[in-house]
Amino acid sequence: MARTLKIPATKYPIERLTLDNGLRVVLAPDRSAPVVGVAVVYDVGIRSEPQGRTGFAHLFEHLMFQGSENLEKLAHFRHVQGAGGSFNGSTHLDYTDYFEVLPAGALERALFLEADRMRGPRLTEENLRNQVDVVKEEIRVNVLNRPYGGFPWLKLPPVMFSTFPNEHDGYGSFEDLESATVADAQEFFQRYYACGNAVLSVAGDFDVAKATAMIERHFGDVPARPAPPRPDFDEPDLSGERREAYTDRLAPLPAVASGWRVPDPIGDFAAYLPYVVLAEVLTDGDASRLVERLVQRDRTATNVGGYIGFMGDEYQVRNPTAMLLQAHLPPGGDADKVLRTVDEELDRLASEGLRPGELARTQARMATHLLRDTDAVLGRALPMAVLEQQRGRPELLNELPRLVGQVTEAQVVAAAATLRPERRATVEVVPGAAQ
């Protein structure tokens, strides 16, 4: 009988409460270092933006840093950095987050700043036009003028999916961004940036009673607005292989990426988790199957990667999502040969099982990464907020290392057997003339 790896759960204390206005709060006190992490996560991401407004969720993230009704532009920056802290925000498929890391004594400052812009950001024509230009420049730098820009996270979804929420370009088109209005921004804020659609999370050095009083003081009078109905983004699985190729004028060498739909990461987490482990079995480290075969033995690829989710956030994404494998190839590389090899290795894994020690080694590495990530206060505050929002279970953060260790060889083998070519979507990068 196969044995599972014994990995203990972490024991970070977690307390939850909900304010009268609907704001959910997660608290994780840890007095070991005088630092706090504060995160506010709104249940709106790329998949929620309307047709004709591609890139709007990300654009609005920028607008949230442009001042509020009570604070001028750049005041947020000044107050956080003046306290010795750092801050940022990011847009994902299913949520948008804002966060600060500060000395423990500056906790109330961060709470005031987040509550203030939750009441209302400064949505002006000047701020909107300025941030549209900023986002357009970001697209130029990160996608249009970079080799492999958007590969595969922007290029694969339109091959794999058929519905607008799942397949569209989350960075946005210049046309859509330029046509955005202040009225659009105001409507977006009223709809999605509501207390009932947000989670506040605090981790680090604080007293729970004192922090709760601060939160009540700053967030308690934010006007109550309920969460909007959440759309159903699901769509049928592929019934046949899909494949497209495009020319990247800046890419010096070919590349290929494939994706397969996986079980619902929230509704069927037990069936989903073996795919997370499988991706690591296939690609994590020099001893992994595809690195050993494609890079070291056959030399048909120069590097290989595998992960769940188009943005690599396997524990913080809703259905539908996918397991991705990507490879960069040497000069004259053959994408078809790489895909055939991937199929061979998946078939071999499904028929012969795992090698001795292969699963335990992979699980140990995964657990180590999870434990390392949660060692930092922000590594607790951010994922706990998303886990509360999507699952109502921030304590899952404590359980993940142990759950990864409980995945069995039979589950990983069964997962590999489902990754058939007829369920695969593939996008291939063809090097352009600029090489």
248 and 120, same structural domain?
A: no
Contact 420, 239 (CB under 8 A): no
Query: Can you point out the beta strands (E) in 209-315?
Result: 242-248, 255-261, 303-308
292 and 157, same structural domain?
A: no
168 and 103, same structural domain?
A: yes
259 and 209, same structural domain?
A: no
Q: Look up residue 50 and give its DSSP letter.
A: P
278 and 206, same structural domain?
A: no
The answer as to whether 64 is a domain residue is: yes
309 and 204, same structural domain?
A: no
Could you tell me the residue range of the domain that residue 127 belongs to? Answer: 15-219
Angle at which helix 269-283 crosses helix 396-406, to 10 degrees, equals 60
The answer as to whether 231 is a domain residue is: no
295 and 191, same structural domain?
A: no
Residue that has been written with the tokens 């206005």 in this structure:
21
The answer as to whether 411 is a domain residue is: yes
In this predicted structure, what is the pLDDT of residue 298?
97
Contact 189, 15 (CB under 8 A): no
Dihedral class, residue 86 (left if φ above 0, else alpha if ψ from -120 to 50, else beta): beta
Grouping H, G, I as helix, E, B as strand and the rest as coil, residue 128 is: helix
The answer as to whether 31 is a domain residue is: yes
285 and 209, same structural domain?
A: no
pTM score of the predicted model: 0.96
In this predicted structure, what is the pLDDT of residue 316?
96
The answer as to whether 9 is a domain residue is: no
76 and 162, same structural domain?
A: yes
Q: What is the pLDDT of residues 8-64, one digit of tens each?
A: 889 999 999 999 999 999 999 999 999 999 999 999 999 999 999 999 999 999 999
Query: Token digits for 335?
Result: 């994408």
Query: Can you point out the beta strands (E) in 254-315?
Result: 255-261, 303-308
261 and 187, same structural domain?
A: no
The answer as to whether 290 is a domain residue is: yes
Q: What is the pLDDT of residues 290-312, one digit of tens each?
A: 999 999 999 999 999 999 999 98
Domain finish residue from 219, 251, 284: 219
Q: What is the pLDDT along the chain (435 residues), one digit of tens a residue?
A: 455 677 888 999 999 999 999 999 999 999 999 999 999 999 999 999 999 999 999 999 999 999 998 999 999 999 999 999 999 999 999 999 999 999 999 999 999 999 999 999 999 999 999 999 999 999 999 999 999 999 999 999 999 999 999 999 999 999 999 999 999 999 999 999 999 999 999 999 999 999 999 999 999 999 999 999 998 899 999 999 999 999 999 999 999 999 999 999 999 999 999 999 999 999 999 999 999 999 999 999 999 999 999 998 999 999 999 999 999 999 999 999 999 999 999 999 999 999 999 999 999 999 999 999 999 999 999 999 999 999 999 999 999 999 999 999 999 999 999 999 999 999 999 998 644
Residue 9: what are its φ and ψ, rounded to 5°? -75, 150
Domain finish residue from 219, 252, 271: 219
In this predicted structure, what is the pLDDT of residue 4?
62
CATH of the domain at 106: 3.30.830.10
Instruction: For 22-47, give the DSSP string.
Output: S-EEEEEE-TTSSEEEEEEEES--GG
Number of compact structural domains in the chain: 2
The answer as to whether 173 is a domain residue is: yes
In this predicted structure, what is the pLDDT of residue 1?
42
Residues counted in the chain = 435
Radius of gyration of the chain (CA): 23
| Distance separating alpha carbons of residues 235 and 224, to the nearest angstrom | 33
- Comparing C-alpha atoms, which of 259, 255, 262 is closest to residue 294? 255
| Distance separating alpha carbons of residues 128 and 59, to the nearest angstrom | 9
269 and 189, same structural domain?
A: no
Distance of CA 204 to the CA centre of its chain: 23
258 and 186, same structural domain?
A: no
* Measured CA angle at 82 (ends 78, 85), to 5 deg: 100
Query: Can you point out the beta strands (E) in 66-173?
Result: 86-91, 96-103
